[in-house]
């Protein structure tokens, strides 16, 4: 039985990308990533956030 995230990803695809730090740690969307893994997806869209340095 699919949960809400699995059903949504299966029907609409990935709408919100995974947010990751530049160290490859997931910052947000852990549940969507888990759902994608349960669906057997090998790749998911992600945004990699880098530290902002002001001078």
**Per-residue model confidence (pLDDT) at position 48:** 93
Q: Give a yes or no: residue 34 inside a domain.
A: yes
Which of 42, 30, 27 shows the shortest CA–CA distance to 5? Answer: 30
CA 8 to chain centre: 13
Torsion of CA 50, 8, 40, 30, to 10 degrees: 40
Q: pLDDT band at residue 27, thresholds of 50, 70 and 90?
A: very high
The token pair that represents 5 in the structure block: 């995230």
pLDDT the model gives residue 12: 92
The residue range of the domain holding 33 is 4-49
pLDDT, tens only, 43-55:
999 999 988 766 6
What domain count does the chain have? 1
When pLDDT is averaged across residues 23-47 and rounded to a whole number, the result is 93
pTM for this model (two decimals):
0.75
Average pLDDT for 25-40: 93
What tokens appear for 17 in the block?
């990308």
CATH of the domain at 44: 3.90.1530.30
């Amino acid at each position: 039985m699919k949960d809400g995230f699995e059903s949504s990803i299966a029907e609409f695809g990935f709408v919100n990308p995974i947010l990751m730090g530049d160290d490859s740690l997931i910052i947000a969307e852990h549940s969507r990533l888990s759902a994608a893994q349960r669906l057997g997806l090998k790749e998911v869209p992600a945004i990699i956030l880098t530290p902002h340095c002001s001078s």
